Structures are given as C-alpha cells and as structure tokens.
Amino acid sequence: MVYGGKPSTGCYLCRKRKIKVSAAPLTDMASQMGDGYATPLSGCDEGFPECRNCMVYGRPCPGYRTDAVFRNETKKVEQLAKKTSSPSNSSSRSQSSTLQSPVLVDRRRDNFRESPTLTFFSPADATWEQRAICFFFDQYTIYGDCEDGMGHLEYIPPLYAKSGEIDSAGRPSCLRWAVDATALMTLANTAHAPQLMVKARQGYGKALRGLRDALASPDQALKDETFASVVLLSLYEDISGERNGLYSSHTAGFEFLMKLRGQGQLNSQWGRDMFNFAWTHTYVEVLALGDKPRSNADWVLDLLDPEDPVERLMLAASKLSHLFLSMQSSPSPPDQATVASWIAAGRACDFELSQWSQHLPERWLPLMVYSAQGEPLITYHHISNCVVWNYYRAVRVMLQQLLLSLYRTLAAVTARYTPTTTPPPSPDPGLDPKLLRAVIQEMTTDTCRSIPFSLGDIDTLARPVSPASNGKLPLRAAQAYGLLWPLWYILSCGLPSPTQVDQIRSVLTRVGSTLGIKLALILAREADRIRGEQS
C-alpha cells in the first residue's frame, strides 16, 4: 500500500485554502504580484471552538477531521468508483465489493451536514488583503499568559471579527479599515511590495475618514472599536515611517479619548490594555521629546495598581513628567530656591525608581548568565519583561541626565553671588556627578547586555537560538516594536561606548530592514544627528 502522506489536521476552511498547520516563511512577493499567490497564510492554529484564521475572516469555523481518517474516502477514489460503476464496467462492478464506498461516503456526508454545529461553504481563494491580515495578527498580536498577563493588541482580532463588514449606518467600520491598512503596510514593508503600499495608504485615508465620523458620534466615540482604531493608526504611522519628524499625528487623539472615556475604561482588561498603550505613546513624547500634554491626566493616578510592575513604573514616570513640566513653566533664569526644590523632587523620583526593582516578583527579575565565550549577558523569563526593564532603564537615564543638568544650573546660580552679598551656599552635597554618570553607564551596559535575548538570538540560559532559514529575526514584530524608544534614548543620551553605539545602532537598522518597522531606521538616523551635535 502506497503511503499517501500525513493528513492535514487543520480545519476545513484552512485545508480548502491549502494553509498548512505549520506556518511557512514569507517569500518575496514583489515579483509574484501578477503570477498567483505563492505566499502562504499563517498556519491553522487548530484552536477550539474555532481557529484563528476563521475568527479573522469573521466566518464560522467548520471544524476538524476526526482522529480516525480513512484515506480512501477521497474525491479521487469516488470518481474512480463512479467510473468503475458505469455501464461499460458493469461486469467488473458485480465482482467487487469495494465499490460500495461511494454510497457510504455520501451517507456519512449527509449525516455530517445534519450536525447543528457545523456550516459548510466553499470559500474563494485568499486575497492579498486576507493574507496581510493573517500575517499582521501573527506578528503583532500576542496573548498574555496567566503569570504576567502581558499581551500586545490581543483585543484587536476579536474586535475586528465583531465589527463585521459594515457598521449600523451601512458603511465599513473604521476599525476594519484601520486593520486592513496597517496589515497591508506591514506585509508591504516585509515583502518589499510597493503595490501593496499604495493600497495600504488608500485604506489609511478611508480609516481616517471613518474615525472622524466615529468621533463625531457621542456613542461611537466611547466604543472600544474607536479607541482601537487610533491604536492601529498610530502603529501604521510607525510601521510606514510617516511620523512628523519624531512626533506622532495621533497623540492628541489618544489624550482626547483617554479623557473622554474616563475611569470606566479601566474596568475591563481590554480597556486597560488600550489605555496603557495610549499612555505610553503619549508620555514617550513628554519625557523623551519634551512635548507638553494637552490635558491633565492626574485623575488616573489613583486608579493605577501600584502592585502591578508596569503600572507602578507608570506612576513613577508620571511624577517625573510633572517635574519636567514644572521646569518648563518656570521663569528663566530660576533662583536658587527653585533649583533646590527641583533637585529635591528629582532625588525623590530617583529613590522611587530605584525601589521599583526591589519589589518585583521573582519571575520579573533579570538573570545574569554567560555566553560560551564568557561574555556576561542578561536574560529574562519572558521577552515582555525585557521590554519593560528597558523602559525602566531609559527613564533612569533621563532622570540622571536631568540631575546632572540641575547640578550645573545650581553651580551657575551659586557663582552669581558676589562677596558683598550673603555667602553663597555650596552645591548640593547629595549630588555627585560621578555617581550620576556611573548610574547612566550601568543602565546603558545592562541594556546592551540584554540585546541578544531581546532579539531572540539566545534563550534564557544564553544558549544560541538557531536563526531562521529565511534570514528573519527569531522574534515577532510586536516584541521588536517595544524595544525601539528605550534603545533610541539610550543611544542618544546614555553615554554609550563606541562599541555600544555600534551595537544599538545595528539593532535599530536590523529591526527596520528585517521586520519592516521604518520608525527604527528614522530613530537610528536621529540618534546619529544628536550624537553629532553633542560631539
């Protein structure tokens, strides 16, 4: 008996679309746009009660084969049996008992169709848009685990499926346009397909118009779908590299919706996840770029959970942003008492940040390991922990740089005293520039030591991870996306050595060229410009 190969265990829809259970690597589509569909979709995940691909399409999953699969029940065998049972072969039919199998097949199928839980349909071949959506969800949506609950955009697939093809007014949902545009841009950048970029930009324009209509409706503006649309449009901007310099076009929208949705948005996990994304997006611009928030978000501080590592870090960063804003609004030049108050506030923030790492669960703590060559490296239990730690280190560097600046300002104010006035006080004895620089260098070194793990080049025990055969990074785009801003700030302001400069810059270039996140390339160029001005 000839072995016919292992039968696919995917659902009916994925098997009809010839989607394998294990995802195949993405191929270059630039030369295939007119020659058919050579790029496979992400594989069927065999989930219950429905697989992820069916959920993406918003269509019912038809289910799976049973474990007992009789390979002779195929269309080819049916056709052969029918041919054999034709009048020209009537004599052969009477001599064979195996020709009853088509009847049995038809009966089984009739019984199968009567099942109330299954729906059969014959889908058309997958379009590029459908393939892009599956690829985008595979790369940018991560479901949180039971320990940390740290996912990324995990609310997008169910909201996308829930939104349906059109809204109540008979128009396509702005969320669907936003997902389609972001997915197409993701696939276009990764596969180097300019044709898809054109379609992505068209979808982006439609999503903006749909979002404007949704914000004009009091009911629609409060929905999760509307907030999720802004999340996706900001992500589109970063993937396409179309920010206004380093500033996002959607920060004002985030601030407006966070305030409009109020405290109720933190009552659900989805709402909390969206709020955390928007808050991080906004305060990166406040702390790293010196932007001013357009509304007061102090109302949320009492609602953040100080026992949660991420939200405790958000609380500390909020206090630091208050100090930044206080300094920006102060008359220039400040007097000695004002500078002293800033230094006291900065030292209090620094103490709180230093305590952040002292109250983490054990699974959050970094692990010091050594490579086969004896090089010290830092790993974690999860890459998501590494992302949060990098944000922590970047905030510590910001604060040390601020204290160094205040130390110099205090020295300048002190020098203005003349011998005929009250004797000038000595500079703050609690500030030691050498210690401040040592903290900056420690944060920079620890960030660089964690890079091999954060890129998926090594596992938790520092064992090398075999590179993908297609040259792709062994991590998902969502994980690399979380590395960008901390690495950029460390590269720009973290006093890195020449070797560390090359290491961080190569990471940004690698993420931008391999994973198609163009913001990474922009950040690398901007860091070069800043370092050139500082030298």
**Residue 45: exposure state from Cβ atoms within 10 A (0-12, 13-18, ≥19):** middle
**Max CA-CA distance within the chain?**
127
Distance CA 241, CA 524 (A): 12
3-class SS of residue 423: coil
Count how many residues are written for the chain. 535
d(CA 415, CA 426): 10
Rounded to whole angstroms, what are the CA distances from 470 to 33, 43, 250, 331? 20, 17, 34, 57
Burial of 251 (0-12, 13-18, 19+ CB in 10 A): buried
Query: Prior bond to 496 cis, omega within 30?
Result: no
| Contacts (Cβ under 8 Å, ≥6 apart) of 359 | 312
Predicted local distance difference test score (pLDDT) of residue 174: 93
Pick from 117, 6, 110, 11: which is nearest to 57 by CA?
11
Reading the block at residue 73, the tokens are 């029940």
What is d(CA 245, CA 364) in angstroms, rounded to the nearest whole number? Answer: 34
Residue 370 pairs with which residues in a beta bridge? 376
DSSP output for 360-414: --GGGS-EEEE-TT--EEEE-SSHHHHHHHHHHHHHHHHHHHHHHHHHHHHHHHH
Among candidates 505, 499, 503, which has minimal Cα distance to 529? 505
- Give per-10-residue mean pLDDT for the chain (535 aa): 61 68 42 39 68 73 59 51 49 39 36 36 66 94 75 94 65 88 96 93 96 93 96 98 94 94 92 95 93 80 89 94 90 86 95 93 94 94 94 97 93 70 60 94 97 93 78 80 96 92 95 95 93 77
pTM, two decimals, is: 0.76
Can you tell me the distance from the alpha carbon of 304 to that of 282, in angstroms, rounded to the nearest whole number?
Answer: 16
Which two tokens mark 458? 């090594």
Per domain, the residue ranges of the chain are 75-113, 128-294, 304-534
Q: Looking up tokens 């049995």, which residue turns up? A: 104
Q: Of 34, 54, 36, which Cα lies nearest the Cα of 44? A: 54
Compute the distance between CA of residue 447 and CA of residue 377 in angstroms, rounded to an integer.
10
Are 178 and 232 a contacting pair, CB within 8 Å? yes
CA distance 197 to 182: 10
Please, what's the b/e burial string for 260-276 (b: 16 or more CB within 10 A of its CB; e: otherwise)?
Answer: ebeeebbeeebbbbbbb
User: pLDDT value at position 170?
Assistant: 53
pLDDT at 121: 37
Structure tokens at 483: 């590395």
- Using CB atoms within 10 Å of the CB of residue 103, give its burial: 0 to 12 exposed, 13 to 18 middle, 19+ buried: exposed
Give pLDDT, residue 501.
95
